């Protein structure tokens, strides 16, 4: 009970989870299933959008001119496979062992020349000499401010001169009007646990930092764990400034990673920044 009482208070900005999330042995199973469902917009966007996205990226930063591609947060290789089909020399990098193992197995079965690496792109080396680095489905915003700055430096260093960083972020429109709340539910064989558990879910707003938190407290027979899922959202001026500080220039702006025109009232921004 004393352990649970600490969660009455609003967490400090970017307070860490008490347990793994992306590479948790059980949770990652559900994440992989979400990735592989072509009709679900959860871990990966829907299949039709992904195909349109890859086609547009190849038109905008063509594989013949920019052949060496690094896909950060590649998951089970959905984008990586399509990039490979377009002629890119693909390296996929992801934290989830389950997703990387799946991607490696599939690449071997399909005889695809794709290099998959399990690792943390904040702390681990993902190499240099790339012509294009992608980070798709707004993964950039889940990082803390310090980690975002560190990653931009690593991406810049990892690119060849004239190479591009292509990624997307959420805007404030995603959370506009959404109020803070706390709720609880009981799950049997749910996303978080294989056996029955009590889920305490909270949503918090950090207005000055334009950052939001979905917090999940999971209580079961093994104990209490906390999962903090952070999301920083961006204005166009903020994200452009962050890129410029890291050394990027010639920044192109779109509404999404399939080339939709930028809309100031849209929920996403896609950026293509040149080294």
DSSP string spanning 150-213?
Answer: HHHHHHHHHEEEEEEEEEEEE-GGGTTTPPPEEEEEEESS-SS-SS-EEEEEEEEEEGGGTEEE
- Provide the token pair at 271: 């950026």
Angle at 116 between CA 17 and CA 90, to 5 degrees: 120
Per the CB < 8 A criterion, the answer to whether 76 and 102 are in contact is yes
Domains of the chain: 27-171+234-274 (3.40.50.150)
By C-alpha distance, which of 230, 229, 226 is closest to 4? 226
Other beta carbons less than 10 A from residue 101's beta carbon: 15
Q: What pLDDT does 25 receive?
A: 78
Query: pLDDT in tens for each of the 275 residues of the chain?
Result: 567 777 788 999 999 999 877 777 787 777 767 677 777 666 577 889 999 999 999 999 999 999 999 999 999 999 999 999 999 999 999 999 999 999 999 999 989 999 999 999 999 999 999 999 999 999 999 999 999 999 999 999 999 999 999 999 999 999 999 999 999 999 888 888 988 999 999 999 999 999 999 999 999 988 899 999 999 999 999 999 999 999 999 999 999 999 999 999 999 999 999 99
Quick one: pLDDT at residue 104? Answer: 97
- Could you tell me what percentage of the chain is helix, strand and coil, using 3-state DSSP and rounding each to the nearest 5? 30, 30, 40
**234-250 per-residue burial string, b: 16 or more CB within 10 A, e: under 16:** beeeebbebbeebebee
Closest alpha carbon to 44 in 70, 75, 23, 71:
75
Taking Cα atoms as reference points, which of 123, 78, 125, 73 lies closest to residue 96? 73
Radius of gyration, alpha carbons of the chain: 19
pLDDT of residue 208: 95
Q: Which three-class secondary structure string do you get for 118-132?
A: ECCCCCCCCCCCEEE
- Provide the pLDDT for residue 43: 54
What's the pLDDT score for residue 34?
Answer: 67
């Amino acid at each position: 009970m004393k352990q649970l009482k600490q969660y009455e208070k609003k967490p400090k900005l970017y307070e860490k989870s008490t347990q793994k999330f992306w590479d948790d042995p059980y949770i990652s199973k559900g994440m992989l299933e979400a990735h592989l469902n072509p009709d679900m917009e959860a871990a990966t966007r829907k299949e039709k959008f992904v195909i349109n996205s890859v086609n547009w990226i190849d038109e905008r930063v063509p594989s013949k001119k920019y052949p060496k591609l690094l896909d950060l947060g590649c998951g089970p290789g959905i984008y990586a496979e399509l990039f490979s089909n377009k002629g890119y020399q693909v390296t996929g990098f992801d934290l989830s062992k389950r997703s990387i193992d799946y991607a490696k197995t599939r690449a071997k079965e399909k005889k695809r020349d794709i290099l998959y690496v399990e690792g943390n792109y904040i702390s681990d080396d993902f190499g240099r000499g790339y012509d294009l680095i992608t980070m798709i489905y707004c993964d950039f915003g889940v990082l803390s401010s310090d980690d975002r700055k560190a990653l931009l430096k690593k991406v810049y260093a990892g690119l060849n001169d004239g190479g591009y960083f292509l990624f997307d972020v959420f805007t404030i429109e995603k959370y506009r009007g959404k109020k803070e709340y706390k709720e609880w539910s009981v799950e049997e064989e749910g996303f978080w646990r294989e056996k029955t558990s009590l889920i305490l879910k909270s949503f918090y707003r950090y207005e000055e930092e334009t950052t939001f938190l979905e917090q999940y407290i999971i209580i079961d027979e093994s104990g209490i764990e906390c999962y903090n899922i952070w999301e920083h959202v961006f204005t166009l001026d903020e994200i452009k400034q962050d890129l410029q500080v890291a050394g990027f220039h010639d920044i192109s702006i779109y509404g999404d990673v399939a080339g939709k025109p930028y809309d100031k009232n849209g929920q996403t921004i896609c950026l293509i920044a040149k080294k």
